[in-house]
Amino acid sequence: MTRFLIRRLLNMIPLILGITFISFLAMSLVPGDFVSNLKLNPTITPEVIHQLEAQFGLDQPLMVRYFKWLWGVLHLNFGFSLQYRVSVTGLIASRAFNTIILSLSSMIFSWAIAIPIGIIVAVNQNSIWDRCLSFLAFFGMSVPSFFLAFLMMYLALKTGWFPIGGTFSPDYATLDPLSQIADRINHLILPVFVLGISGTAGLMRLMRSQILEIKNSEFVRTARAKGLSERVVIYKHVLRNALNPFVTMAGYSLGDLLGGAALVEAVMNLQGLGLLMLEAVRSLDIYLVMGSVLMGTILLLVGNLLADIALVAVDPRVDFSSVAAE
């Protein structure tokens, strides 16, 4: 266990270095930089521009800038957002909170719906419910999230039942804490639905195929032969064994917590990390982009690691040596 953990954590170092360097390189390949927009402004003198370039370190060669950034990161200094003029850490933290709330709620939404439906559908295989819901799942899997987001925005516009995009109302700051929470939840309903629907469809299909596979195995036949009730067979024997891949999935979806919602955030104007990242990319705010990429990478790696650990914990057939070998 300890050896496995140490190996995996050590493995992460070259991964993070590689990913951050590629991103840094990509951002430096972009023609122009943050200051080049200011150069077009006649009221800003060249001296000021040079001063800004020197202050942001934009006049130095690529490798020097990368290692300076890396050195800062090692001291937990993620740099300075050129656009917002505040530290990247604070900016990301405030936006990541919104994104994580959104992603977690939609995860809970899709798991809470998909697993029971998957079980019902698999137990009643080839029934009318099975056919309808399996078809609907395909539908749900294929609807592009941004298109669904547009449709929901249109629904909100036409019915007035839901707020039209945004994370909270304009008068959010003046509300009392309880109304603030209610306001946030009200704004969450549509995004959670949009984000959750494709996950629901995928999970339901997985649950269905898992149960169908296990339903025909020999230990289930044995359980039936022993005279156990159908209920016990399904819940104690089939379901427990069907849940294995879901443990792994939960870990992997942790890695998707920050990045998965980016597109929907952009369409529905939700103040999350995805929208921040998009603005940062558009305005070439390099340290903000790097900070977001780094956060996303770390969360993804940690999620994968947790997924592997959880798999070993629940499945006695898997041990750390076999996980490490993959």
Partner 1 sequence: MNVDGAMQANLQGAAVAARQTSGIAREWRLASRTVRFSAICLALFYLLAAASPFFASYDPTYQNREMPDCPPMSIHLNAPSDWSRGLFYTHPMHMNDPIARTFVADASRRLDIHLFTRGHLFTTDSEREPYFMLGSDGLGRDLYSRIVYGSRVSMCVGLIGVLITFSLGITIGALSGYIGGTVDFLIMRWSEIEMSLPSFYFLLALAAVIPSGMSTVATFFMIVAIMSFISWAGFARIIRGMASSVRSRPYVEAARALGASRWRIITRHIIPSVLGYAIVAATLSIPGFILGESALSLLGLGIQEPAASWGNLLAQAQDVQNLARYPWILIPGIFIFLAVMSFNFLGDHLRDRLDPATSA
Interacting residues with partner 1 (CB under 8 A): 11, 14-15, 18-19, 22-23, 26-27, 29-31, 135, 138-139, 141-144, 146-147, 150-151, 153-154, 157-158, 164-165, 208-209, 212-213, 255, 258-260, 262-263, 266-267, 274, 277-278, 281-282, 284, 289, 292-293, 296-297, 299-301, 304
In the chain the first and final C-alpha atoms are separated, in Å, by 16
Tally of CA atoms within 13 A in the half-sphere of 285 that contains its CB: 25
Q: How far is the CB of 26 from partner 1 (least distance, A)?
A: 5
Task: Name the residue nearer to partner 1 (CB basis): 17 or 185.
Answer: 17
56 contacts 82 by C-beta, under 8 angstroms: yes
Query: At closest approach, how far in Å is the CB of 92 from partner 1?
Result: 12
Q: How far is the CB of 67 from partner 1 (least distance, A)?
A: 19
Residue 141 CB, nearest distance to partner 1 (Å)? 6
Q: What is the DSSP string of 225-282?
A: HTT--HHHIIIIIIHHHHTHHHHHHHHHHHHTTTTTTHHHHHHHT--SHHHHHHHHHH
Which one, of 203, 230, 210, lies nearest residue 133 by Cα? Answer: 203
| Number of neighbouring beta carbons within 10 Å of residue 305 | 20
Q: How far is the CB of 96 from partner 1 (least distance, A)?
A: 12
| 33 vs 53 by CB, closer to partner 1 | 33
How far is residue 267's CA from residue 146's CA, in Å, rounded to a whole number?
A: 7
Looking at the Cβ atoms of 45 and 127, the one nearer to partner 1 is 127
CB of 48 to partner 1, least distance (A): 25
Backbone angles phi, psi at 80, to 5 degrees: -130, 130
Q: Which residue lies nearer to partner 1 by CB, 181 or 291?
A: 291
Please classify residue 70 by burial: count the beta carbons closer than 10 Å to its beta carbon, then call 0-12 exposed, 13-18 middle and 19+ buried: middle
| Cβ contact 127:111 at 8 Å | no
Nearer to partner 1, 46 or 160 (CB): 160
- Closer CB to partner 1, 226 or 282, in the complex: 282
Task: Identify the residue whose tokens are 């649950």.
Answer: 207
